[in-house]
A and B are shown apart, each in its own frame.
Chain A
Amino acid sequence: MAPVNHTGQLPRLLPGTAATLTLDEHLARYGPLPLRPAGDLIAEVRAAGLTGRGGAAFPAGIKLAAVAAAAATAAPGSGPRRRTADAAVIVANGVESEPGSGKDAVLLARSPHLVLDGIAVAALATGASQAWLCLPADKPRLAGQLREAIAARAWAGASPVPVQVEAVPGGYLASQETALVSWLSGGSQQPSFVPPRPADQGVRGRPTLVQNTETLAHLALIARYGAAWFRTVGVPPEAGSALVTVSGAVPHPGVLEAPLGTPLGAVLAQAGLRPAGGQRGPARRPQAVLAGGYLGGWLAWPDAADVPVSAAGLRQAGAALGPGTLAVLPAAACGLAQTARILAWLAGQRAGQCGPCTHGLPALAEAFAQIAFARPHPDTIGWAGRLTQLLPGRGACHLPDGGAGLAASALRVFAKDLSWHAGHGPCPPAAQAAREAP
């Protein structure tokens, strides 16, 4: 296998075949992992402009620097002192609790050593003495594969820190950063109020870097090839590529890699979607795209075909990049009914800690059930709109913000359906959806 092309062609993260890359194949493809001084590496990541691929798109270099600084304060000096219980820890977040996302599992299954390289690089940059690789508890086979890969590296002497695979149970909030830190500290799977941030006080009080597994894979490539190489892909100001999971009304759903900033239409074309008008039949013809998962937003199709698939581009269009999920809604479905279903599910995923979310998210779900499955009174529609403004910024985590954003986008994108429902009751697809699973 030839080493990966340095000119910035894709795919960067995923090998051409579905088989798992062994350590030898991985080294043949990417070359050895250089051990760079911590300061150099952090500067390189900052220059690369890598952002977190778990959903928040937070600059990875800033996070790395914060953990390194906190660790230096907690355990000054170097040498054995850095191996004490004060040293930083790395949490590789591959829990991927977003229902429409499959990219972390695909990456881990096919290119495990790229993620493990990223853990090693992050550990060297922060002086971490320990790492956890968090995987969903319902994927024991994946966990077994990763344990094997970790053992192969230990055997080859390619592992600067011990990495422990952790099977994380639970629902939607299980992969939320502070909830994950709490769980690894022996606590509940509930988000906590920040500050203190995990960088300063994370797992058992230690400086903690929580980073999505795809982000770590990019980190491993930046450590090898540098910031300038990383930036050869991506439409400015976005840098690099991202894994996206495409589902729904496309010919070839699945995980693919695209330069950040690629127009939505071009990304969906990679999943086999032909240009507007090419699809026949309401079951196949798209009407909207849910970008960014259950905490993202709806975009009308094909109007949104030119929207850049990037954190800034999708936010500006009223959606989100989130963990890179794109769900395509066929013309035969009712977007309001879909949204009502998602909001009801989200309301059930609450941690139940914050008042505005505890009251507001079920109220929003209830209003949407009326909107989707009944003949909504104008007051109900008004109340739903008001709730979308009341919820953002009112919780310890972003569940209320995300639910509100999703609902607001539905009211906007499915405005025609909304007035039809208000005038006549549920449209035939909504009535059908209500009959199938009341």
Chain B
Amino acid sequence: MSDWLRVNPIACEAHGVCAELLPELITLDPWGYPIVVPGPVPPALAAHARRAVAACPTLALLLHHEDDATS
């Protein structure tokens, strides 16, 4: 099992908090919307990822568990 980040693009309003809190995995596009680095969240960044998810003002950043075999 590993954690994956996903953005709900309908809910996202480009506040950019996620990119501030997790620059290792999230950058912003020219309009301020997040671009997530593909692949599972490295264990060392798991706590930061959870913090970024919790801090999103529109709850648009999601963290979900996935079996590595099926991902």
Residues of A at the B interface (CB closer than 8 Å) are 192-193, 353-357, 359-360, 390, 394-396
Contacts and interface: CB of A to CB of B under 8 A. Distances in A.
B68 interface: no
Contacts of A193: 8-11
Contact of A390 (B9, B11, B14, B30): B30
A192 B8 CA distance: 10
18 contacts: A193-B9, A193-B10, A193-B11, A353-B10, A354-B9, A354-B10, A354-B12, A355-B9, A355-B13, A356-B29, A357-B9, A390-B29, A390-B30, A394-B7, A394-B33, A395-B9, A396-B8, A396-B10
Closest 10 CB pairs of A and B: A354-B9, A359-B31, A355-B33, A353-B10, A193-B8, A356-B33, A193-B10, A396-B10, A395-B9, A355-B14
A394 B31 CA distance: 13
B12 A355 contact: yes
Contacts of B13: 355
Give the dominant DSSP class at B's interface.
loop
A192 B10 contact: yes
Contacts of B30: 359, 390
A360 B10 contact: no
Contacts of A390: 29-30, 35
Contacts of A353: 9-10
A360 B33 CA distance: 11
Q: Which of A193, A357, A395 has the most CB of B within 10 A?
A: A193
Interface in B9-49: 9-14, 29-33, 35
B9 A396 contact: yes
Contacts of A192: 10
Contacts of A356: 9, 29, 31, 33
Contacts of B33: 355-356, 359, 394
A192 B12 CA distance: 13
Contacts of A354: 9-10, 12
Contacts of A355: 9, 12-14, 31-33
Q: Which of A192, A354, A355, A360 has the most CB of B within 10 A?
A: A355
Q: Which of B9, B29, B32 has the most CB of A within 10 A?
A: B9
A394 B10 contact: no
A217 to B, nearest CB: 31
A356 B9 CA distance: 8
Given A355-B32, A356-B29, 15 more contacts: A193-B8, A193-B9, A193-B10, A354-B9, A354-B10, A355-B9, A355-B13, A355-B31, A356-B9, A359-B30, A390-B29, A394-B7, A394-B29, A396-B8, A396-B10
